[in-house]
Amino acid sequence: MVSEPLFRLSDLHFAYDSGQPVLTGADFTLHAGDRVALTGPNGAGKTTLLHLMVGLLKAQAGQVEAFGRLRIHEKDFVEVRPRAGLLFQDPDDQLFCPTVAEDVAFGPLNLGKSRTEARMIVRHTLARLGLEGFENRVTYKLSGGQRRLVALATVLAMNPEVLLLDEPTNALDAETRARLITILDSLPQAMIVISHDKDFLNRIARRWVRLEQGRLAEG
């Protein structure tokens, strides 16, 4: 039995207000368990593609199907975002709460979990990432690597079915990078990973997709 794909993008067209088209008929399908490396030159629109998938940007033409339903309006995407966790390029954009615990709990609380449940999720998620005892740390005083891992924790705390990772190894030291690889490799979720780090992609990805001149090509 072939399962329903998690995401199906068909014939997406997108251009920013300022002109130059970014996507010109992009097609893409993501199945459960897929681990996709999304590569392409700078400015090719890789981040744009991820943002289109969770409705942070709206395509001028084409369709976004997510979790078995066509998604068009903002309210369709509200349900998609917790299920497709997006990790931003800069952890400083993602971590905005004063303490780590509050930041990790932010998503679960928005999803209607009680404080007790949220606290449990926080402890659990931090433990999974080897971040025990970080609950009361102040986010702006964390190191770059710690910030990245905590940002990942905030995404995992919502228990997404898909992970969209935007240059997760950017500016990481060797130790944190190795730790991140171990973590990602152990996760069951389908992933799309944007990166220029070939070695990292070789160890995580099982499928390669290249974005060039507005279109996606396998291989």
Partner 1 sequence: MTALAEVSHPHTGSIDLPPLQKGGWGGFRASEHLLKTVDARLRVVACGIFALTVVGLTQIPSLLMALALAGCAAMAARLEFASTLRRMAALDGFILFVLFFLPFTVPGEGIFSLNGVTASYEGVLRAVEILLKANAVVLMIMALLGSMEPVELGHAMARLRLPVKFVHLFLFTVRYIEVLGREYRRLRTAMKARGFRLRCDPHTWRSIGYLFGMLLVRGIERAERIVTAMRCRGFQGHFHLMTEAEPVGRRDYAFVGLSVMAACALIILESLHW
Residues in contact with partner 1 by the rule CB under 8 A? 51, 54, 56, 78, 81-82, 85-86, 88, 90, 92-94, 96-99, 101-102, 105-111, 113, 115, 117-121, 124-125, 128-141, 143, 146, 149, 154-155, 158-159, 179, 182-183, 186-189
CB of 179 to partner 1, least distance (A): 7
For the chain, report the end-to-end CA distance as a whole number of angstroms. 25
CB of 215 to partner 1, least distance (A): 25
CB of 72 to partner 1, least distance (A): 17
Q: Of the candidates 216, 215, 217, 214, which has an alpha carbon nearest to the alpha carbon of residue 16?
A: 214
Cα distances (angstroms) measured from residue 18 to each of 53, 113, 161, 183: 21, 41, 34, 39
Amino acid at 83: R
CB of 5 to partner 1, least distance (A): 19
Q: Which is nearer to partner 1, 27 or 130 (CB)?
A: 130
Q: Which is nearer to partner 1, 97 or 210 (CB)?
A: 97
Q: Which is nearer to partner 1, 42 or 116 (CB)?
A: 116
Q: Which is nearer to partner 1, 17 or 218 (CB)?
A: 17
CB of 110 to partner 1, least distance (A): 3
Q: Of the candidates 207, 182, 155, 199, which has an alpha carbon nearest to the alpha carbon of residue 30?
A: 207
Cα distances (angstroms) measured from residue 172 to each of 27, 176, 177, 178: 32, 6, 6, 9
User: Largest alpha-carbon pair distance within the chain?
Assistant: 49
